[in-house]
């Protein structure tokens, strides 16, 4: 269904002194630009570094929204924790008017769905659209029958060019700590394939990974937004690219039938980039 | 085939066998395992287990009859106190462990730690302490603790998909059940197919767990008089009667238990999450502490330990009751919907099997383990109960 052209760019040296390096994305005026972070909510220095690096990139690549792939806050989740573990690390982006759209992870208090800056509208799973892209946000903690019926219906009804799903637990992953969530896969993948989902983003494994297209769908794991499991990727035949040496986030641009992506490390180094071309659905 | 199933029933092998197949299958062919498990889950967990709980209810019912282990409150009080104390200890520890890490997503899973695998605990106590009052003690603990868990999961499901037809069907099913009894219909399957089916749909539409649907009609089912000791009935006694519920359901229940373990015990364990740890700590730490504190308090207030059970034996019984396994798995599937959180809870339920090792170690350290010769004699007594 889809052709993936991707180039792995491993750039040497630290970018601390110079700040963000150039975005490896076309940065077209009418395109949809967004960022992706997962497993960020630690409130520890690496999360603040990621926040700073994202803000630096935002100055040259003005993404309008951030998709959050779950584990948005670890540990205590009182009012002050939302400040320390989310608002402070991403203050620059919030002040610049960037919207965050969160999925729930296994460490998230379900009450996060009522936290206005996460834009969840008080529900565990939801959908929204920007330009020619529709996002489907799932709660992979509990894939109950109502949610399964909802996602099937929502995917069926969508006529958008791009269908992007995101949720916390990866259907495919080479992370040693968690790996592929095969039980979820046997339920969700047939729906994704049947209804033309193009790309899936997940977190949970604290690394970056891009999988080779599986049944026509490209899967990303971006779960190192606040903490890292160094050396956790066990490369397999599924691995297209992986980075497990530092925390990271993703930048994405959807322009017409192309989705450009760039994975960026905490130091601003581009660790993976490429383009996914959308094929017309039958 | 029938002989194999009877052997499995006599030795409590259905669940371990199903679990072993599930674990191997899930790790050798994960995708095919999870596809099959997912397709069978509803039929096994919500329909098939109804027969298991009917069979179990029959066991408990007979234990309350004259000569049964629950017949007099005096005999049953201390195990009941121990079970309640252990359950409170397990739930309290489970909740405290999660709250310490602020993992509120899993708090609703407390019924999981109510589970005691009665069959496993029974065999373990028999192995470690031999024939004696320790076995009914641990079985009664399991009945009470699992009963608390069943009430919890029954109520947990309330209002999820409630329809007015539900209570009406339950009432109709009970009426039909009483009528069948009145007309002395002796074929148990007639009771199950007609009134059982009505109750199952009634439970389903009332938002109650449908696996408990046959429980209310068990007292109306045809039965033969039972012997005095529910742990040592002769295999050729009244229970061999084709009109007795236990005889009729015995083999089907073994098949269901095998399928239950097959469907629910398979998982890919990459890392141990906090949910799994909470279940494990609740069962292996909270339950023994709660049990011993409750029994200590009860003895302090004047209750007496059963004949031939001292404090050392009680400690061994306590640790033998920490294996939640079958019931832990069932409660997990009842309180959490399909997904990774359920898997965490299942990993916890499986890991409570470590309680068997703990109990053995404690028995060795305390010097309560019976000599092999004694054990050989006691194991010749056939036990039928699996709670």
Q: Inter-chain contact A181–B340, Cβ cutoff 8 Å?
A: yes
Query: Is residue B157 predicted with pLDDT exceeding 70?
Result: no
pLDDT at B201: 92
Asked if residues B129 and B312 have their Cβ atoms less than 8 Å apart, the reply is no
B30: which chain A residues are within 8 Å (Cβ-Cβ)? 180, 182
Q: Inter-chain contact A109–B270, Cβ cutoff 8 Å?
A: no
Asked if residues A267 and A246 have their Cβ atoms less than 8 Å apart, the reply is yes
Cα separation, B97 vs B318, whole angstroms: 21
Asked if residues A50 and A37 have their Cβ atoms less than 8 Å apart, the reply is yes
Q: What is the ipTM of this complex?
A: 0.83
Cα separation, B137 vs B115, whole angstroms: 16
Q: What would the pLDDT profile of A136-153 be if each residue is shown by its tens digit?
A: 999 999 999 999 999 999
Tell me what percent of the residues of chain A surpass a pLDDT of 90: 88
Q: Inter-chain contact A107–B103, Cβ cutoff 8 Å?
A: yes
Query: Is residue A2 predicted with pLDDT exceeding 70?
Result: no
Query: Is residue A56 predicted with pLDDT exceeding 50?
Result: yes
Q: What would the pLDDT profile of A236-273 be if each residue is shown by its tens digit?
A: 999 999 999 999 999 999 999 999 999 999 999 999 99
Nearest by Cα to B270 from A180, A219, A211: A180
User: Residue B345: how many CB atoms within 10 A of its CB?
Assistant: 26
What is residue B193's DSSP assignment? I
Query: Is residue A219 predicted with pLDDT exceeding 80?
Result: yes
pLDDT at B53: 86
Nearest by Cα to B330 from B285, B276, B272, B265: B265
Cα separation, A182 vs B284, whole angstroms: 29
Cα separation, B142 vs B122, whole angstroms: 9
Q: Which of A179, A183, A185 sits opposite B270 (nearest CB)?
A: A179
Phi-psi sector, A127: left (phi>0), alpha (psi -120 to 50), beta: beta
The per-residue b/e assignment along B205-219, b for 16 or more CB within 10 angstroms, e otherwise, is bbbbbbbbbbbbbbe
Tell me how many helices (H) and strands (E) chain B has.
18, 0
pLDDT at A16: 40
Query: Is residue B62 predicted with pLDDT exceeding 80?
Result: no
Q: For the residues B217-235, what does the mean pLDDT come to?
A: 62
pLDDT at B16: 87
B344 contact A CB<8A: yes
Cα of first residue to Cα of last residue in chain B, in angstroms, is 24
B157: which chain A residues are within 8 Å (Cβ-Cβ)? none
Q: What would the pLDDT profile of A93-105 be if each residue is shown by its tens digit?
A: 999 999 999 999 9
């Amino acid at each position: 269904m889809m052709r993936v052209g991707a180039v792995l760019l491993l750039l040497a040296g630290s970018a601390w002194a110079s700040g963000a390096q150039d975005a490896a994305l076309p940065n077209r005026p009418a395109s949809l630009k967004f960022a992706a972070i997962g497993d960020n909510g630690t409130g520890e220095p690496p999360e603040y570094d990621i926040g700073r690096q994202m803000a630096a990139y935002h100055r040259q690549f003005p993404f309008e929204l951030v998709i959050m792939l779950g584990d948005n806050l670890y540990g205590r989740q009182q009012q002050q924790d939302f400040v320390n573990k989310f608002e402070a690390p991403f203050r620059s982006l919030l002040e610049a008017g960037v919207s965050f759209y969160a999925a729930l992870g296994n460490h998230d208090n379900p009450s996060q769905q009522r936290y206005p800056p996460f834009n969840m509208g008080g529900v565990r799973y939801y959908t929204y659209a920007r330009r020619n892209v529709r996002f489907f946000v799932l709660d992979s903690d509990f894939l109950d029958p109502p949610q399964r019926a909802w996602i099937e219906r929502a995917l069926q009804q969508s006529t958008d060019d791009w269908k992007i799903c995101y949720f916390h637990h990866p259907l495919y992953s080479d992370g040693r700590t968690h790996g592929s969530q095969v039980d979820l896969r046997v339920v969700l993948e047939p729906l994704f394939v049947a209804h033309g989902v193009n790309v899936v983003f997940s977190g949970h494994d604290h690394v970056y990974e891009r999988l080779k297209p599986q049944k026509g769908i490209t899967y990303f794991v971006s779960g190192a937004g606040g903490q890292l499991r160094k050396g956790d990727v066990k490369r397999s035949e599924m691995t297209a690219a992986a980075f497990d040496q530092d925390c990271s986030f993703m930048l994405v641009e959807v322009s017409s039938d192309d989705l450009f992506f760039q994975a960026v490390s905490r130091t601003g180094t581009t660790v993976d980039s490429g383009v996914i071309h959308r094929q017309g659905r039958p | 085939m029938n002989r194999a199933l009877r052997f499995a029933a006599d030795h409590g092998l259905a669940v371990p066998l199903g679990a072993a197949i599930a674990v191997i299958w899930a790790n050798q062919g994960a995708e095919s395992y999870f596809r099959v498990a997912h397709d069978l889950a509803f039929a096994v967990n919500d329909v098939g287990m109804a027969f298991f709980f009917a069979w179990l209810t029959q066991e408990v019912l007979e234990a309350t009859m004259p000569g049964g282990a629950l017949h007099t409150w005096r005999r049953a009080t201390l195990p009941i106190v121990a079970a309640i104390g252990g359950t409170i200890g397990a739930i309290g520890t489970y909740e405290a462990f999660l709250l310490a890490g602020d993992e509120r997503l899993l708090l609703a899973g407390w019924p999981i730690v109510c589970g005691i695998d009665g069959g496993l605990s029974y065999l373990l106590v028999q192995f470690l302490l031999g024939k004696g009052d320790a076995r009914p003690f641990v079985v009664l603990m399991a009945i009470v603790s699992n009963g608390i868990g069943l009430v919890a999961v029954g109520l947990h499901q309330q209002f999820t998909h409630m329809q007015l037809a539900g209570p009406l069907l339950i009432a109709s099913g009970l009426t039909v059940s009483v009528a069948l009894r009145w007309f002395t219909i002796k074929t148990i399957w007639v009771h199950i197919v007609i009134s059982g089916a009505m109750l199952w749909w009634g439970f389903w539409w009332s938002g109650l767990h449908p696996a408990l649907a046959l429980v209310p009609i068990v007292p109306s089912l045809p039965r033969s008089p039972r012997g005095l000791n529910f742990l040592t009935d002769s295999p050729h006694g009244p229970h061999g009667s084709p009109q007795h519920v236990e005889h009729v359901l015995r083999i089907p229940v073994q098949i269901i238990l095998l399928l239950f373990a097959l469907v629910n015990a398979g998982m890919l364990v990459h890392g141990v999450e906090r949910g799994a740890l909470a279940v494990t700590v609740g069962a292996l730490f909270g339950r023994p502490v709660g049990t011993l504190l409750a029994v200590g308090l009860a003895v302090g207030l004047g209750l007496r330990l059963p004949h031939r059970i001292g404090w050392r034996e009680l400690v061994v019984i306590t640790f033998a009751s920490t294996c939640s396994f079958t019931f832990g798995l069932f409660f997990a599937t009842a309180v959490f919907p399909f997904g990774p959180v359920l898997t965490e809870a299942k990993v916890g339920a499986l890991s409570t099997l470590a309680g068997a090792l703990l109990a053995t170690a404690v028995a060795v350290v305390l010097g309560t383990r019976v000599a092999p010769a004694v054990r050989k004699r006691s194991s010749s007594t056939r036990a039928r109960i699996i709670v």
